[in-house]
Amino acid sequence: MKKALIIGINDYPNSPLGGCVNDANTLATVLESNGDGSPNFGVRKITCPSTNITRSVLREAIEQLFSGDCDMALLYFSGHGFIKSTGGYLVTTDAKKYDEGVAMDEILTLANQSKARNKVIILDCCHSGAMASPSLSGNGTAQLAEGMSVLTASRDSEYALEANGAGIFTSLLVDALKGGAADIRGNITPGSLYAYVDEALGAWDQRPIFKTNVTNFSPLRIIPPKVPFETLRKITQYFPTADSEHKLDPSYEDTEASADPDNVKIFKDLQKYQSVGLVVPVNAEFMYYAALNSTSCRLTALGYQYWRLVNEKRL
């Protein structure tokens, strides 16, 4: 069982925002189901102006999220962030001087104490990098319990920007969750989310922060695999050893008079491998010419990784 608390606050009395509710709505829709339409997260969404998200409302919702036992508990917040010498805060609608909202350290404590096997905190707000920041915790280390991942829109010293009615960071997250950050098997994890966002933002843009303490990543969302599993599992048939080459000839190409139906079928699988970077043609620019010129194809480093998974019966 996976559950997600999605928070978006636009209506701050003194400094309203424009895109946070849009961000919350969009992310909630994506997280509710996997790419094949199967259920994913049980989502609770709270947005303002629909709800007055005061400090007590936000803290109670976060406590409920991290209570109980589940496979994954995910917190997403889009709104104002605030930082001072005592740490970072998620700003609520009743914020005032010396009581700006819910402290990030308080949220981290609730998450660290949670019995959920995986805890994920995603913040799209200014100064969000203050979450689990060693420089602010006072002890020089970021205290993350096992199974904990934190992904933030910016460093603790930076602003998180909006564009076209949405947060830049969340827009990238949504693209990543729709498939941009998926591996060949269709898994999208906190680590691949960060890699996607990190690559999309330049050196002069806000810089995302990723902190984690996990022994293995659990997927946040799954989409249909880029190569069907039954096709992927044939990789050890086509390449008996990791360093072997699969010999090709014109009978593999269906446009040739000598085309052999069995070889043509194998060639289509090899072309699928090539399209996702698992194999490359040898002494040819394209697989087509490798077949016509009777050369071969071989595994890439990524191909070896999946060959090993299949060979060890882990896929």
**Confidence (pLDDT) at 229:** 96
Interacting residues of 141 by C-beta distance below 8 A, sequence separation 6+: 134
**Confidence (pLDDT) at 296:** 98
Across 303-308, average pLDDT? 97
**Confidence (pLDDT) at 140:** 53
Express each pLDDT in 150-207 by its tens digit: 999 999 889 898 888 888 999 999 999 999 999 999 999 999 999 999 999 988 889 9
Complete domains list, the chain, with CATH: 2-222 (3.40.50.1460), 229-311 (no CATH)
Give alpha helix (H) positions in 32-76. 55-65
Express each pLDDT in 238-291 by its tens digit: 999 999 999 999 999 999 999 999 999 999 999 999 999 999 999 999 999 999
Q: What whole-number distance in Å separates Cα of residue 12 and Cα of residue 48?
A: 9
As a whole-number percent, the residues of the chain with pLDDT over 70 amount to 97
Q: What whole-number distance in Å separates Cα of residue 266 and Cα of residue 260?
A: 10
Query: Which two structure tokens, joined as six digits, stand for 161?
Result: 């920007």
Q: What whole-number distance in Å separates Cα of residue 152 and Cα of residue 210?
A: 7
Interacting residues of 283 by C-beta distance below 8 A, sequence separation 6+: 290, 293, 295
Bridge partners of 101? 91
Which position has the token pair 């970021």? Answer: 142
Which position has the token pair 């969404």? Answer: 45
Express each pLDDT in 13-45 by its tens digit: 989 999 999 999 999 999 999 999 999 999 999
Nearest to 242 by CA among 294, 306, 184, 290: 306
Q: Are 189 and 218 in contact (CB under 8 A)?
A: yes
Q: Are 309 and 238 in contact (CB under 8 A)?
A: no
Q: What is the value of pTM for the model shown?
A: 0.90
Q: Are 65 and 40 in contact (CB under 8 A)?
A: no
**Confidence (pLDDT) at 86:** 84
**Confidence (pLDDT) at 33:** 98
Range in 89-98, 140-149, 176-185, 265-274 with the lowest mean pLDDT: 140-149
